Amino acid sequence: MSVNREKIKYVPGMYAKKRPSAEQMANAYFSDWQQRQVKRVGRPVEQHHAICISRKIGVGAVELADMLAERLEFRVVDREMIEYIAENGKLSEKTVAYYDERYADKIDEFMSFLFREKSFTMSDYTRRLVSAIYAMADDGPTIFVGRGAHLVLPRESVLAIRLIASKSYRIYRLARVLDVSPDLAVMELEELDNLQRKFFKKAYNVKDASPYEFDLVLNLDHLRTLSCAADIIQKAYECKF
């Protein structure tokens, strides 16, 4: 049964804090980004550290990322912003050109690592996605939420985090954020989980996230608050870097 998303719509990343739209964030970011690129012409690529958060839908990953960003003075790039850049013709053209100039030699390495099946070819969409992630990571310390950023960036520069929680935890949080009944939240969550699975199959040819991809896996059922999770991730970041 498909959920009527005109009446109930959850966008991963929703919580009490009012955030700018993906379009607003992307356009503001790229306005500054272009000016900074002019100053960097001829300079070597600077490898910034990144925290990449992969999560089950509905666990509160963006809220957690915002907490960490305030503590570490990072910026947060969520799945909506990454998708907006990858799907916007003008912006994706700029990031692909930037990627080709700086990281042309990374394509084969990336393909052999991620797409071990020789018959699988990286699509134009995945290429735009990868280029957007690299462009933003190059620009400064960043917390990425979703879209498989931990699969794309150099592993030595990334703290890769996986957030999980029981279905009951996620249903409860979704119902509270949307102010709907648990039954409606269940249907919405099932639809979103299915969309997430389809994305990873389409973009990266993977079915699910292996725990071996991550530095740290946190089960939010067993932590009192998201602030506790932020404490753990901050300590892990400090220990690694």
Rounded-to-integer distance, Cα 237 and Cα 160, Å: 10
Tens digit of pLDDT for each residue in 58-102?
999 999 999 999 999 999 998 888 888 888 888 888 888 888 888
* Highest mean pLDDT of the ranges 39-48, 153-162, 196-205: 153-162
Q: How far is CA 231 from CA 15, 146, 177, 200, 236, in A?
A: 20, 20, 23, 29, 9
What strands, in cross-sheet order, belong to the sheet with 75-77? 75-77, 142-145, 50-55, 158-164, 216-219
How far lies 3's CA from each of 9, 14, 60, 190, 194, in Å? 9, 18, 21, 9, 12
Q: Examine the pLDDT at 106 and tell me if it is beyond 80.
A: no
Angle at which helices 124-138 and 79-87 pack, to 10 degrees? Answer: 120
Residue 144 pLDDT > 90 = yes
Q: Would you state the structure tokens that stand for residue 80, as one six-digit string? A: 């909506």
pLDDT (0 to 100) of residue 16: 60
Characterize the bridge pairing of strands 142-145 and 158-164: unpaired
pLDDT at 235 over 70: yes
Tens digits of residue pLDDT in 111-132:
666 655 555 567 888 888 888 8
Residue 22 binned pLDDT confidence (cut-offs 50, 70, 90)? confident
Closest to 113 (Cα-Cα) out of 169, 69, 155: 155
DSSP state of 44: P
* More confident: 214 or 202: 214
Q: Is 7 exposed, middle or buried (0-12, 13-18, 19+ CB in 10 A)?
A: exposed
**DSSP H helical segments within the chain, as ranges?**
22-40, 61-72, 79-87, 89-103, 106-114, 124-138, 149-152, 167-178, 182-204, 226-240
